[in-house]
Amino acid sequence: MKKLNRIIVAVAFMTGGWCSAQSQSNVIEDFKPSSSNQPGKEYPQVNSEGRVRVQISAPEANRVQLDIGAVKYDLKKDTGGVWTGESAPQDEGFHYYQLNIDGASVPDPASLYYYGASRWGSGIEVPAKDQDFYALKNVPHGQIREQLYFSKTNDKMRRCFVYTPPDYDKDMQKRYPVLYLQHGGGEDETGWSAQGKACLIMDNLIAEGKAVPFIIVMDNGSWRMPARDRSVPRGERPAGPWPPKGWADGFMKTLLDDIIPMVDANYRTLADQQHRAMAGLSMGGMQTRIITLANPDVFAYMGMFSGGSISTEDIANAPGFKEKVKLVFISFGSRELENRRSGFGGDPKENTEKLKEAGMNAHFYVSPQTAHEWQTWRRSLYQFAPLLFK
Amino acid sequence: MKKLNRIIVAVAFMTGGWCSAQSQSNVIEDFKPSSSNQPGKEYPQVNSEGRVRVQISAPEANRVQLDIGAVKYDLKKDTGGVWTGESAPQDEGFHYYQLNIDGASVPDPASLYYYGASRWGSGIEVPAKDQDFYALKNVPHGQIREQLYFSKTNDKMRRCFVYTPPDYDKDMQKRYPVLYLQHGGGEDETGWSAQGKACLIMDNLIAEGKAVPFIIVMDNGSWRMPARDRSVPRGERPAGPWPPKGWADGFMKTLLDDIIPMVDANYRTLADQQHRAMAGLSMGGMQTRIITLANPDVFAYMGMFSGGSISTEDIANAPGFKEKVKLVFISFGSRELENRRSGFGGDPKENTEKLKEAGMNAHFYVSPQTAHEWQTWRRSLYQFAPLLFK
């Protein structure tokens, strides 16, 4: 059953369309409210298989669907006008979803809301076996600070979020390294703290002595990315590197000219290459690749989560990178590698092995049983952070 | 026309039900996207009369309504299945709203979301003539910090938001006064920074030299409040003070035993009565009244926005309050006073006048042309903040 649903999901992705699925039979009835519900809400719920069950009152509606993982599942109406139904099993971790009421795609009024897929909308937490590493615990906590600043490059006010570690306000003489951590396409500066739970991951790692305390800056890297023309068959699309040259220049200039100087002026940073890292997921990983290859004097550590890889050819064309960069970290979800399409610039594991052979400190991590989704990136940060600034 | 709509709203409030209104004729066609829209969304829009126009695609729906200000307005469907319609004119400022699709109450997928009315849902900004005082400007900005802490009183982790003024991280020797600022019923610790724009109000006041820099702590004061039994006719309800004795004790204990010590331990505060203030809106104003009357050794300044008033009898029963408290600030929206019901413990303006006669520094402020809503409370903070810590 689980395998069949996977195939349905895969087909829906590949065709770019959607299919309608009936509520499932043989569902295990151990559903519990999700941790991502609004306060006091009984639905949505998740069971031990990872199925998501939603419920909404819509007495006059003709059709109500749950839209999750690129599949729409029909809900059933009871005599009181309340619609209920569930999805196929979902991967552990966080997923965006929405409801469809008589053709209107809307957020579930019972869930918390997150910015992803270029909209504020519903998200749901499917409990994971390893969720302890991002649990809210009674340990010393850092702060997440909303930082407003003026960007000369863009001639407007911008916003980022800055994580300061638990001891930041204790010793006013101490200075800290900085990680610039970027979200994916269709997401924004809120993603890493809300969906990513980056700050809880760091608080827990620091409490256990597994990572050194550092500052994390989460800014908005959304610069328009040229769309691939999907009407052209894959084999017939024009060759050349992806993303195309010049695409990351807008964010690179803002990062180098506005964000880093603002952070170094307003926070107690160690403001040199040895104490500066950049990482990102998906689009943010591609940006990290372009920006760190072009600026080995600025960043000493780099991480790409589900965002491609770096080859020995890349290094050959980036003077200083091999000598100055102390860590290259590449990660993917296992399902991404299983269903991998071309466009990563070669096999990412093989590329990373070749970097090691060439003498670089290169790491390759695979998140088990996850796809291009937040659980992959939470785990990637959890693996990446202990390697930094040591 | 405007007056008629007001009457409809008033009737809807009084009956506790709702009525359905057709889209308006003679609407001025100068609608613009609201500043509270999600990035890139053309709708919802607001015109110069303050009418709110929404639009949503729902091809298979039978009925779609805009639900704002306790009135539901029917939308009209075009041949493409897109529904559009607008409300009567709304007051300047911020309003909660939702859509109703075939009986389902859901957030508008095009708006930003706010916590109020005990749910995360849609809100809309109606441009105000005085909106400059809470505009985002290129002035020095403070930070909003998400602060996690363990509460012994509640035996769990809690969260508050802390505003630190623009110069907080410049001079590490400087210490600051603190305002504890509370939201209203059905809202939470996010209200004052999101809907209230408290931090922008403070940044602008400080930039203009109109307020001294101070820290603001915004915590969650939601303790269950006993419901008034509305099935009992007003005149026959049991007499006695409102809110009933003991209601605010839960939050008072958490504030005094957990929140204030945590803030004094983690921020550079001036940790004495002379440098501590409390204020709140609606329920938060009632809490401020009870907590400051009972603790004149803890707070030197107090503000109640749309949350009742303080009488000379209250003062007589609160030893030390008259001598130690340096400011009592009472405010309301003008429409609240026009349509005032009993239950405020007497006329708030008259009560405030009597406090002045008794020798207290008492202020009474009325927000023009606003009701029990956020524009009243933004303006109240703008009037209140310059009176603090001077």
Return the residue of B nearest to A61 by Cα.
Answer: B102
Q: Is residue A1 part of a domain?
A: no
To the nearest whole number, what is the mean pLDDT of chain B?
91
Q: Does B146 touch chain A (CB under 8 A)?
A: yes
Supply A16's token pair.
């770019």
CATH number for the domain spanning A160: value is: 3.40.50.1820
Identify whether residues B149 and B231 lie together within a single domain.
Answer: yes
d(C-alpha B101, C-alpha A60), whole Å: 8
Return the residue of A nearest to B59 by Cα.
Answer: A103
Q: What is the pLDDT of residues B261-291, one digit of tens each?
A: 999 999 999 999 999 999 999 999 999 999 9
Residue A66 dihedral angles phi and psi, to the nearest 5°: -100, 125
Supply B17's token pair.
């039900």
Q: What is the pLDDT of residue A3?
A: 42
As a whole number of Å, the CA-based R_g of chain B is: 22
Identify whether residues A53 and A114 lie together within a single domain.
Answer: yes
Supply A22's token pair.
């009936």
Q: Per the CB < 8 Å rule, is A149 touching B169?
A: no
Q: Lowest-confidence range among A135-149, A271-285, B192-206, B331-345?
A: B331-345
Which of B298, B142, B123, B154 is CA-nearest to residue B219?
A: B154
Q: Is residue B224 part of a domain?
A: yes
Task: Tell me the pairing of strands B276-281 and B362-367.
Answer: unpaired
To the nearest whole number, what is the mean pLDDT of chain A?
91
Identify whether residues A57 and A203 lie together within a single domain.
Answer: no
Burial environment of residue B140 by CB neighbours within 10 A (0 to 12, 13 to 18, 19 or more): middle
Q: Is residue B17 part of a domain?
A: yes
Sorted by sequence, the CB contacts under 8 Å of residue A65 that are 6+ apart come out as A20, A72, A73, A74, A75, A85, A99, A100
Identify whether residues A101 and A201 lie together within a single domain.
Answer: no
Per-residue pLDDT averaged across B228-246, rounded? 63
Which of A149, A210, A366, A249 is CA-nearest to residue B136?
A: A149
Which of A342, A346, A343, A349 is CA-nearest to residue A328?
A: A349
Identify whether residues B192 and B59 lie together within a single domain.
Answer: no
Final residue in a domain of this structure, among B95, B110, B127: B127
> Total structural domains in chain B?
2
d(C-alpha B193, C-alpha B200), whole Å: 8
Identify whether residues A117 and A146 lie together within a single domain.
Answer: no
Identify whether residues A214 and A362 lie together within a single domain.
Answer: yes
Q: What is the pLDDT of residue B10?
A: 37
Q: What is the pLDDT of residue B367?
A: 97
Q: Are A200 and A153 in contact (CB under 8 A)?
A: no
d(C-alpha A144, C-alpha A65), whole Å: 36
* Percentage of residues in chain A having pLDDT higher than 90: 83
Burial environment of residue A309 by CB neighbours within 10 A (0 to 12, 13 to 18, 19 or more): buried
Q: What is the pLDDT of residue A379?
A: 98
* Percentage of residues in chain B having pLDDT higher than 70: 87
What's the gap in Å between the CA of A341 and the closest CA on chain B? Answer: 31
Q: What is the pLDDT of residue B8?
A: 38
Per-residue pLDDT averaged across A332-345, rounded? 76
Q: How many alpha carbons fall within 13 Å on the CB side of residue A390?
A: 11
Identify whether residues B381 and B321 lie together within a single domain.
Answer: yes
Q: Is residue A180 part of a domain?
A: yes
Q: What is the pLDDT of residue B359?
A: 97
**pLDDT value at B239 more than 90:** no
E strands, chain A, are 20-21, 32-33, 45-46, 52-57, 64-68, 71-74, 76-77, 82-86, 93-101, 104-106, 113-116, 119-126, 143-151, 156-164, 178-182, 215-218, 276-281, 301-305, 327-333, 362-367
Q: Does A61 touch chain B (CB under 8 A)?
A: yes
Q: Per the CB < 8 Å rule, is B64 touching A99?
A: no
In chain B, where does DSSP find H-type helix? 2-15, 191-194, 198-207, 249-254, 260-266, 283-294, 312-316, 321-324, 334-338, 348-357, 374-384
Supply B244's token pair.
């009933």
Q: What is the pLDDT of residues A105-132, one digit of tens each?
A: 999 999 999 999 999 999 999 999 999 9
Q: What is the pLDDT of residues A127-145, one digit of tens each?
A: 999 999 999 999 999 999 9
Q: Among A108, A146, A150, select the one facing B138 at the smallest CB separation.
A: A150
Q: Is residue B204 part of a domain?
A: yes
The string of DSSP codes covering B262-281 is HHHHHS-B--SGGGEEEEEE
Domain of residue A193 covers 133-387
Q: Is residue A116 part of a domain?
A: yes
d(C-alpha B145, C-alpha A147), whole Å: 9
d(C-alpha B27, C-alpha B242), whole Å: 42
Q: What is the pLDDT of residue A243?
A: 72
Collapsed DSSP state (helix, strand, coil) of residue B384: helix
Final residue in a domain of this structure, among A90, A105, A127: A127
Q: What is the pLDDT of residue B232?
A: 58
d(C-alpha A53, C-alpha A64), whole Å: 13
Task: Tell me the pairing of strands B104-106 and B76-77.
Answer: unpaired
Kindly give the interhelix angle for B374-384 and B198-207, rounded to the nearest 10 degrees: 30
Identify whether residues B98 and B144 lie together within a single domain.
Answer: no
Final residue in a domain of this structure, among A110, A127, A144: A127
Which of A159, A196, A164, A160 is CA-nearest to residue A177?
A: A164
pTM of the shown model: 0.91
CATH number for the domain spanning B47: value is: 2.60.40.10
Q: What is the pLDDT of residue A143?
A: 98
The string of DSSP codes covering B292-312 is HHH-TTT-SEEEEESS----H
Identify whether residues B114 and B154 lie together within a single domain.
Answer: no
Q: Among B60, B106, B138, select the one facing A107 at the smallest CB separation.
A: B106
Interface list for A 164-203 with B (CB within 8 A): 169, 172, 188
Q: What is the pLDDT of residues A192-230, one digit of tens each?
A: 999 999 999 999 999 999 999 999 999 999 987 656 655
Q: Per the CB < 8 Å rule, is B64 touching A104?
A: yes
Q: Is residue A353 part of a domain?
A: yes
The string of DSSP codes covering B160-182 is EEEEE-TTTTT-TT--B-EEEEE
Other beta carbons within 10 angstroms of residue B20's beta carbon come to 11
Q: Does A57 touch chain B (CB under 8 A)?
A: yes
Q: Is residue B1 part of a domain?
A: no
Handedness of CA A223, A363, A293, A317 (dihedral sign): negative
Supply A241's token pair.
């590197």
**pLDDT value at A51 more than 80:** yes
Residues of chain A in contact with residue B61, where contact means CB-CB under 8 angstroms, are 61, 101-104
Sorted by sequence, the CB contacts under 8 Å of residue B211 that are 6+ apart come out as B202, B205, B385, B386, B388
What's the gap in Å between the CA of A268 and the closest CA on chain B? Answer: 9
Identify whether residues A214 and A350 lie together within a single domain.
Answer: yes
ipTM, two decimals? 0.91
Q: Per the CB < 8 Å rule, is A59 touching B112?
A: no
**Identity of residue B248:** A
Identify whether residues B146 and B276 lie together within a single domain.
Answer: yes
